[in-house]
Amino acid sequence: EVQLVQSGAEVKKPGESLRISCKGSGYSFSSYWISWVRQMPGKGLEWMGRIDPSDSYTNYSPSFQGHVTISADRSISTAYLQWSSLKASDTAMYYCARHEGRYTSGLTWGQGTLVTVSS
């Protein structure tokens, strides 16, 4: 069974750094792109960017370029989303999702990681 298991909820202060993770299992991790999607409280889904774990190629939505970094470690089948300096506006649920094919929006989702940034 294909599964994406994300790390647990985080509570951080503005200016702090953070890395959350997404571990894939039940499939060949390198063979499928991973995207990250933000959902702010009470709002819709926003695509942040994606990574091809086979070569670590990334591309980002202009809305998130420069604010987050997406990476992956094929050896442990894990993708990451990280911030160097969090803001209160980063408070949201973050989902990782596996693309079912290249250049497709068909996604299998992780359970989500809630990030709360508050002083």
Partner 1 sequence: QSVLTQPPSASGTPGQRVTISCSGSSSNIGSHTVNWYQQLPGTAPKLLIYSNNQRPSGVPDRFSGSKSGTSASLAISGLQSEDEADYYCAAWDDSLNGVVFGGGTKLTVL
Close Cβ partners of 94 (under 8 Å, ≥ 6 residues apart):
6, 20, 36, 37, 38, 39, 48, 81, 112, 113, 114, 115
Q: Is residue 52 a contact point for partner 1 (CB under 8 A)?
A: no
Please, which residue, 83 or 94, has the CB nearer to partner 1? 94
Q: Is residue 45 a contact point for partner 1 (CB under 8 A)?
A: yes
Judged by CB under 8 A, which stretch of 17-25, 58-66, 69-77, 78-86 contacts partner 1?
A: 58-66
- Per the DSSP assignment, residues forming a β-bridge with 99 are 107
Tokens 């250049």 correspond to 103
Which of 28, 30, 59, 84 is the binder for partner 1 (CB under 8 A)? 59
